[in-house]
Structure 1
């Protein structure tokens, strides 16, 4: 009888130790370390978002795919990916790894949270510039430069994003914002002049010089107001 109680005591002790160990050991999913980054979406194409960091010290351009990813609004409610628009500030949860491509890509995004709205400056200017081009298209010119005059409508990081988005829209063209010098004869120039700007309105003039000899430049004046983070003409 004593031997039976001895074995029972050993079995109970081992069982208690095992149960305690199970409580202390997190699952593989729980032990994964998640990283977070705050980004401003500057352009959205289908399920792909292009973004810049909210930190002025980070000059990188980023992209992430939102297909199948959980998205939450500012109140924490689940929303569809359609709710994400250019100009939104989002918090991205990912596995901590960023691919060193251009733009930089997140290897595994697990959650997107909307935390605010700025304005869709880059997307707005991209669309206005694109509407200026005649039938031959931007890609017929080897290289384009974009110059700015007047108040600053885009910061340095947003100008880099503008370059990337225009190059993606018009494959084969090289776009440079405010280049130090020209290196080729076939250069088209886009001049963006800010005539007047407030927190909720802007008056722009865009001049496109194709650089094709006898081709005349195109000019357009634009007045827009900011409504819920979207520039509206």
Structure 2
């Protein structure tokens, strides 16, 4: 039987720079999940909002959030994914954690820090992609602004699922919608985007538009409201499409030099 991956996309407002309150918020939302899911996806910087003041966050809060993710993953028997403010001494990173149902974490540091907001001056950029093997699927998780850079996301590893966690503001939401669909089509992979909603501590508004696209760019899930959005990915659908349309075999051969 072909593997299936059941997703729960948690689209929510965030409480500004308050990890304890956000952990409680998401724990409450996750407890409402009634379906049997394999992977729960949270937004970018889900414990704080998209803050450029990581020094306002107590140093131990990032470790507390990782431990919380481990606890929730084990309790739900599902993997958990989302990014947080993570400190290493005086160095800060926008770090994504994937925690499997056994509580084992893997990490990805945001490659493209958002210069428009000065993220590049506050957070250390990552240098390598993360490829995950989970439930018969190969998954590539990325973060928000990474969505604008197709070379970084290019499917040279034959992954099945591309995931973006984000704080993508309402004024540029048309770009979010368009680029998620484009990444699915050009990489012949499922593309999943999980955004936040509400207004942050700086007054920026977010309108959600969390969505899932299949390998041909068809939208199979979408939401603009506070909710847990469910969908199921099917490995067989990927295989059928790629065997019929062998576009990935014609992709350019290249190496990133920086």
Normalised by the length of structure 1, the TM-score is 0.28
Structure (1 or 2) with the larger CA radius of gyration: 1
Structure with higher helix content: 2
